[in-house]
Amino acid sequence: MKIGVLKTDDVRPQLVGEFGEYPDMFAALLQREEPSLEFVTYEVQHGHYPADIDEVDAYLITGSKTGVYDDKPWIAPLMDFVRELRRREKPTLGICFGHQLIAHALGGETRKSEKGWGIGVHSYEVQETPVWMVEPQENFSLLVSHQDQVMALPPDTRVIASSDFCPFAMLQVGEHMLTMQAHPEFTKTYSHSLMELRREAFGEEMLEKGKDSLQNDIHASAVARWMLAFLRR
């Protein structure tokens, strides 16, 4: 299977040498489960798209520090591309910004949450168990870094997992789009480094709470298997 990564941001320069770019993180996550996977990166933040929507088997939209509502010239074309992916029923994953953008583009709403920043390890309760959820769990935990959230759902959307902090944490739109607010591709080491770089934005109390949460287990491998099972249906 060949996955097209729609890259919507760059890793901070101070962290690239150790952690790579976002497509590298997703390749590391998913190829641990399926080494034969191929990846193609499209720099959609710079207007680069596939010449043919079918030149890959599935798409994955990355996270970004940009808000889906920001006035940047590359966001509207990406929303149009998402609508075409929906129309063509192309298997698509959306992570963090990708999750928010898919919801926003298809008739939902994303905005800054009054609950503020979510950082570190967050836990979610599974609301329903679709057929693609191999090795189903009642709850799971992943790393997060966000203050925007999906606030209203687009049509034909099921809530797969939620938390008190993030009610729309994992969504299935139709039969071909799976999105999540958390970052299964993040490692704890990367999350710690990112939190340190954003120290001023978080404040000391929130930062220490986020760093302390890194002691908790995460379920990135299980979620990676769900992602692949979803794409392969």
Catalytic annotation, residues: 96, 183, 185
3-state SS assignment for residue 170: strand
Residue 148 corresponds to which tokens in the numbers above?
């925007």
Pairwise CA distance, residues 187 & 142, whole Å: 9
Please report the DSSP string for 93-154 in residue order: EEETHHHHHHHHHTT-EEEE-TT--EEEEEEEEE----TT-SS--SEEEEEEEESEEEEEPP
Residue 178 φ then ψ, to 5°: -125, 125
3-state SS assignment for residue 89: coil
Pairwise CA distance, residues 93 & 100, whole Å: 11
- Burial degree of 33 (CB within 10 A; 0-12, 13-18, 19+): middle
